[in-house]
Chains A and B, each alone.
Chain A
Amino acid sequence: MAEGYSILVDTSKCTACRGCQIACKQWNQLPGTQTKNVGTYENPTDLSFDTYKVVRFAEGSNGNGKPYWYFFTEQCRHCLSPGCMAAVENDEIVQDEKTGAVIYTEKTKDLNFKETLEGCPYNIPRQDPKSKVLVKCTMCFDRLTNNMIPACVKSCPTGAMTFGERDKILDMTKKRVEELKQTFPKAAAIKPDELRVIYVVTDDPAKYFKFASGK
């Protein structure tokens, strides 16, 4: 299924304000968890049953001696052919026809979490230790069905995230990569043909986050 929607995440425009991370918590009514500073701005340190989206911070030095600081707002990619659905038999995970959103239902409690997680190239699904239900980003399905764009996209101040019909997003992605290539030869979109959440990066994806382009 190649119709439906997509989200373009243009990391070159992301300032790591984390509006998206907070908006995700707010819309989905997820609690703030107890965290501590472990020597980075990045927090919480990983996705969890209470966290569907985390902004990853990655820093280092480039060849020219200048520092870099890359920001990568991690979330479910809503794959066109989701690896997490390999073992699905009974609508535990569904792919919405109109939007293309990959939705985890309550029935995911019957799935083998380990297998589902292994099936995801991006290490996204998480499990509620109590109910055993699996969760992740819903593409704000409950907003989409009420004519609202996803909360994270809505909150983005710089236009780093754009939501829209998939073909238009693909066109935008192509255009943006071409623009960026003039300054950043390594500029590329990460697997635009396989994913609905398409990240545009200006450097090696692994420098942004270890699972940026898959495990």
Chain B
Amino acid sequence: MTNHWIDLKNSDVILVMGSNAAANHPISMKWVQKAKDSGGKLISVDPRFTQTSAKADVYAPLRSGTDIAFLGGMIKYILDNNKYFPEYVTNYTNASYIVGDKYDFSEGLFSGYNEKGRSYDKSTWAFKQTDKGLPERDDTLQNPRCVFQLLKKHYSRYTPEKVSEITGTPVNDLSKVYELYASTGTKDRAGTIMYAMGWCQHTVGVQNIRAMSIIQTLLGNMGIAGGGVNAMRGESNVQGSTDQALLFHILPGYLRAPLATETTLEAFSAARTPKSADPMSANWPQNTPKYVVSLLKSYWGDNATKENDFGYAWLPKLEPGQNCSWLNLFDVMYSGGIKGFFAWGQNPACSGENANKVRQAMAKLDWLVNVNIFDNETGSFWKGPGMDPKSIKTEVFMLPCAASVEKEGSISNSGRWVQWRYKAVDPPGQAKPDGDIMIELMAKIKDLYKKSGKFPDPIRNLKWDYTDAKGNFDSHKMAKEINGHFQKDITLKDPTGQDKQFKKGDPVPAFGFLQADGSTSCGNWIYCQSYNADGNNMARRKKDDPTGLGLYPQWSWCWPVNRRIIYNRASVDLNGQPFNPKRPLLKWAEGKWVGDVPDGPWPPMSDKEKGKYPFIMKPDGLAAIFGPGLNDGPFPEHYEPLECPVPNNLLSKQFTNPTIKIFAGELDKHLTCDPRFPFVGTTYRVTEHWQTGIMTRFQSWLVEAQPQMFVEISEELAKLRGIKDGEKTKVSSARGTVDCVAIVTTRFRPFQIGNVTVHQVGMPWCYGWVTPKNGGESANLLTPNVGDPNTMIPESKAFMVNVEKA
């Protein structure tokens, strides 16, 4: 989230699209309700009329996988009807930039497409530059090659009629949503978006969110109270684990992982440190070398020296182009390329798309370590349905671990609040906190490397001192390590220019003090300040709310530097005065900022000497309406899902996203417009079960309330297939079959897509064969293993199925 949960109450219009907050993020509705109590309106856009829709002022259905068409239509509406916020768009976004002559778009393809490589030459999307190296601008927004005009041109095709024909949303409903949401384009109104996997899990997942980001910047909704682009996280600490580099392509704090071709620290840093010739751009990422060296100092301590590039050579590297994301990992595992696998706090046998392939892949392993609080379909895959235990060589180890209440540590929520939690009870039996399991594992690895091993330096030189006197994992030591320490006595200037002295071993106050010369360590630069000389800031529980906006700056701590709403300098005008005086998030008064922690100390933009643009994490300081960095285009464009019910894309000749990777193995089947699988399928969660259900399927009260795998189908489809409410059905796709109880409902309606009636059905993915008895199987036996070209997140929200009476 750019904003945070409580901030939802400051919204005038809340769009819930690509999520079902009422069912899956129940507590969020407390703040949505508060917004409604103050006159705010709730919009729900969803293929199915959900618990969120039931509370909405406006509901509009859409066919799964057509969000860009829907949002593109909204962009067109905003531009055609002058609903955008001109001052904001001109000053705070790249709308005025002139795009280079090589850029073009035709029939669904952007310039620079290479059919063979299924990729773009992104250099054709570059901005025109002045001889000073600055992007060329036209602040009148009239130049036909400026971003604003190209945006207008791009979305001119997204007429309400065309959008309706693609999405199945009645034109009337489209207008209602567009009109209401676009009403937030004024200074005194805020609109926000609550989205989740319903937007991410598509072959156009990233561009779904890009489309909304464009809308939010056009309307001036970024950086303000009640606005933002707000991803609701699906796990209580998934924000924290991403921050700490759970994913293959990053190091802690979202520093991009090193490549094998980057053989020196200098080469690595240079590739991650953008330059800007514009004195008005803070270009915060220019500080990257400080964060990188401080991270290396944290890993290898005194062994990381200037002479040895601070141990940069010891970091694992990716081959250029190598992608180790989920779908690829399991593809390699399936072809026998992976020998061992730690399934730590997860259940791929049920959570992985095309789960049959995942289960088969695990049978190719030599060993599998399953770390969890309960048995699951992953640890027991070898005795699951269709498996012959005798023929499976995989040796499985089960390590019971502590649940969240059985250990101490921090949890980072969707709003970036890092909240310290205390241990309530000891874990049962032999179960151990994850930290202790890692300490034990590493002790053994270190022991082995003492004797021999290829390339032992990274292990032998590790600092690795995160244990207490008894040798147990010490979460406070770890948290302090993440915050960072000074490595020597040093005098530095604070943000006001005063000298400040620090001793070796002192905690670093905030990331502004981190250095690139090895004089500081920091395990994750965005967490610097979380545990400093003031103590454990994550454990703070003060309820003061000086702005009255619900920022609660002394409740826990949030990254970065306790800034509760990021890009908040976009909430004020060029003179630093709040656009909306009713909800002043920030204000420049008597030479300083008052309110939230500002995005940097610089004065407002009207100060031509010291003022800075608001979007400080962008190298050029402005919000990117034209985004030349993504793999599938600088503007979001509608493509059909890999599996879809229509024979062509009504907007262009390009049927599906031209840059997706298509797996072509024996189990990688996908069928489009195939009469055997005529219905659109989607997956979702229910309130009662958590992810694959491992934390909930052993809980009798929750199983009582939601006991069995089901499929929700419309009354029309039920009639067509002769299925009655509560009857057993078989739902199948090109990849598998799942038994489901039919819930026949008025909440799913057939879509009118052009001249064709398209039925959609939906299933939860929280069940599995281990428990409960007769609970049923995972919907992921049906979902396709194809991913977004930027993130490789799988497309489990739109695929094709059949439904028959069992």
Contact = CB atoms under 8 A, between A and B. Distances in A.
A18 B707 contact: no
Contacts of B59: 66-67
B29 interface: yes
Given A15-B51, A37-B741, A60-B746, A25 B726 contact: no
Task: Give the interface size class of chain A.
Answer: 35 or more
B702 to A, nearest CB: 7
A211 interface: no
B49 A36 contact: no
Given A25-B701, A157-B26, A39 B742 contact: yes
B706 interface: yes
A82 interface: no
A71 interface: yes
B701 A157 contact: no
B700 interface: yes
Interface in A165-193: none
Contacts of A17: 22-23, 26, 29, 51, 687
B700 A31 contact: yes
Interface in A60-77: 60-61, 66-71
A99 interface: no
A43 B55 contact: no
B745 interface: yes
A159 B30 contact: yes
B53 A21 contact: no
Given A18-B705, A36-B707, A41-B706, A157 B745 contact: no
Contact of A32 (B23, B700, B741): B700
Interface in B16-45: 22-23, 26-27, 29-30, 33
Given A36-B708, A43-B704, A18 B745 contact: no
B292 interface: no
Contacts of B774: 36
B427 to A, nearest CB: 21
Interface string B50-62: 0111110001000
B744 interface: yes
B86 to A, nearest CB: 33
Contacts of A32: 699-704
B726 A18 contact: no
B620 interface: no
A153 B744 CA distance: 31
Contact of A157 (B30, B702, B742, B744): B30
A13 B23 CA distance: 13
Given A17-B687, A31-B700, A43 B706 contact: yes
Interface string B702-730: 11111111100000000000001111000
A60 B747 CA distance: 8
Given A36-B774, A157-B30, A67 B705 contact: no
Contacts of A35: 703-705, 707
A140 interface: no
B637 interface: no
B105 to A, nearest CB: 37
Contacts of A39: 724-727, 741-744
A22 B700 CA distance: 10
B29 A158 contact: yes
Contacts of B23: 15-17
A26 interface: yes
B795 interface: no
B632 interface: no
Nearest to B688: A18
Nearest to B774: A36
Interface string B109-125: 00000000000000000
Interface residues of B, number: 42
A44 interface: yes
A131 interface: no
Interface string A3-18: 0000000001101111
Contacts of B700: 31-32
Contact of A67 (B49, B686, B701): B49
Contact of B707 (A22, A26, A31, A37): A37
Contact of B29 (A15, A36, A43): A15
A15 B27 CA distance: 10
Interface in A29-48: 31-41, 43-44
Nearest to B34: A159
B27 A157 contact: yes
A187 B719 CA distance: 35
A19 B33 contact: no
A59 interface: yes
Contacts of A22: 701-702, 705
A16 B51 contact: yes
B550 to A, nearest CB: 15
Contacts of B706: 37, 41, 43
Interface in B741-772: 741-747, 749
Contacts of B687: 16-18
Given A21-B705, A36-B708, A39-B725, A15 B747 contact: no
B26 A15 contact: yes
A157 B34 CA distance: 12
Interface in B649-704: 686-688, 699-704
A7 to B, nearest CB: 18
A69 B30 contact: no
A207 to B, nearest CB: 13
B9 to A, nearest CB: 12
A71 B726 CA distance: 20
B402 to A, nearest CB: 22
Contact of B743 (A19, A40, A71): A40
A37 B688 contact: no
A172 B551 CA distance: 28
A12 B695 CA distance: 30
Nearest to A25: B701
Nearest to A22: B701
Interface in B441-457: none
Contacts of B702: 22, 32
Contacts of B33: 13, 158-159
Interface in B531-545: none
Given A31-B700, A36-B774, A60-B746, A15 B707 contact: no
A25 B702 CA distance: 10
A158 B705 contact: no
Nearest to A55: B705
A37 B710 contact: yes
A31 B699 CA distance: 10
B22 A15 contact: yes
A93 to B, nearest CB: 27
B720 to A, nearest CB: 17
Nearest to B773: A34
Contact of A44 (B704, B725, B743): B704
A69 B705 contact: no
Contacts of B745: 59
A18 B688 CA distance: 8
A69 B44 CA distance: 14
A61 B707 CA distance: 27
A15 B725 contact: no
A109 B329 CA distance: 63
Nearest to A38: B726
21 contacts: A13-B55, A16-B23, A22-B705, A25-B704, A32-B699, A32-B701, A32-B702, A36-B708, A37-B710, A37-B726, A37-B741, A39-B727, A41-B706, A41-B743, A59-B747, A66-B59, A70-B54, A71-B51, A71-B54, A159-B30, A159-B33
Interface of A: 12-13, 15-19, 21-22, 25-26, 31-41, 43-44, 59-61, 66-71, 157-159
Given A16-B23, A38-B741, A67-B746, 16 more contacts: A15-B26, A18-B687, A22-B702, A25-B704, A32-B700, A37-B708, A37-B709, A39-B724, A39-B726, A39-B744, A44-B704, A59-B746, A67-B49, A67-B53, A69-B747, A157-B27
- A-B complex: 4 closest residue pairs judged by Cβ atoms: A32-B700, A39-B726, A39-B725, A32-B704
